[in-house]
Structures are given as C-alpha cells and as structure tokens.
Amino acid sequence: MKKVYDSAAEALNGLLHDGMFIAAGGFGLCGIPELLIKAIQESGVKDLTFASNNAGVDDFGIGILLQTRQVKKMISSYVGENAEFMRQYLSGELELEFNPQGTLAERMRAGGAGIPGFYTKTGVGTVIAEGKEHKEFDGETYILERGIVADLAIVKGWKADETGNMIFRKTARNFNVPAAMCGRVCVAEVEEIVPAGSLDPDHIHLPGIYVHRLIQGEHEKRIEQRTVRKREEA
C-alpha cells in the first residue's frame, strides 16, 4: 500500500468535500499540520467542522481557513490568540463547542479506540455539562462525553518511516497522536521520511496502522508569544 505522496494536495486528493469533519493536531503553534491546512484552504472546500485544541492565529494554522470563511464550527479548548475567530464567533458567523483540554484529548483517543463515550467529573456544574447525561458513581456526579470520530485527521510529526510509523518531538506530540487515531483516514506531514525498519520500535509514538497517507515537507518554526527581557548594561 502506497503511503508516501509528493505533496499535500496530492495526499488529500479524493478525500475532501464540503461539510466534512476534520480532526487536527497541534498545540498553540507547535505541531500544526501547516502544509495540509494550506492545501485544504487552496482546495476551496467549505462548511468544515474542526476538532482542534485551538484555531492557530490569524495568519497561521486553522486561522487561515477562518480568513477564507471555510470553517463552520470549531470544537476547541483554547481560542484566545485569534482575533478573527473572536470576531466571527461574537457576530454569530462561527459555531463553537468548548471542551476542557483533557476532555477533548480523551474524546479523540476514545473515538480512535472504538469507545463511543465515557464519564468524567470535569465540567460538572458548569455550562460544559448542559444537555449532557449525568450519572453518579460512588457518590460523585459525572457527565457523559462522546468519543470523536472524524472523517479526516491531519497531523504533523518529526520523523516517519515509509509505512507511517511516526515520532514526534517534545511538545509537538501534544494532540497529534489522539487526533491521528480518531480519523477514518489520517494524512500526516513530517520533516523527514526514513526507510522502513530504521526507527527503533520502542521510540515510535504512533503506529503506522493509523497513518494512511504521508508527505515530507519544509516547515515554519513559529513562536506564539515571544517573551524577552531587556539586556542588562555591562
């Protein structure tokens, strides 16, 4: 089975359609599948629902899809760095389903593991719990959260072999593993593709069985918030 493709557009060929549900990896601006997001923008598909920790910033990550009005709904944990996101949400142009960060990660992981739902204490007594089933276990109240199964998962890794076994570096591991698991089809971009068998099995974070298509590309190293201190005088 061929998994390696020459470009993001080629890897997404035949997978995209209006109204689809996409799970995306990334945390802040770290580990974002930027090449695949750009290819989705250029394809022109619209009315998309994204499950992602955040929506990037105005000119990077999912933020570029908000600029072109291709996103209908976001399922997210943190959206505080994107002015266009805020504008669209407050004006009623964008639907938003807030999830606590751990809940969102577990919803993706559960969906990928074939688990339709799970109970959690997180969110009990808040707006997060509204409309959800409540159940008591050992005298404590829990709410039911549904596992996420997306039409497509897009993720970004550091290194992969030709069969799709992937390694992530540090914070870039974040949501990429559960996002990859929950997609019916997973397309991944990495900085380097190596021959099959050259990766230490004990170092693999995502088994190739979850990865259907793969590309190698050049990536931008963005810093979400640069904090520096003034240089001290000698």
Q: Where are the domains of the chain?
A: 8-216
Instruction: Assign domain 8-216 to a CATH class.
Output: alpha beta
Q: CB within 8 A of 141, min separation 6: which ones?
A: 121, 124, 134, 135
Prediction pTM value: 0.91
**How many CB atoms neighbour CB 131 within 10 A?**
7
Percent above pLDDT 90 for the chain? 81
Strand partners, 140: 137
Q: CB of 193 within 8 A of CB of 63?
A: no
**Phi, psi (deg, nearest 5) at residue 8:** -65, -40
pLDDT attached to residue 234: 61
pLDDT, averaged in runs of 10, over the chain (234 residues): 94 98 92 96 97 89 94 91 89 94 97 97 95 97 98 97 96 93 98 96 96 92 75 71
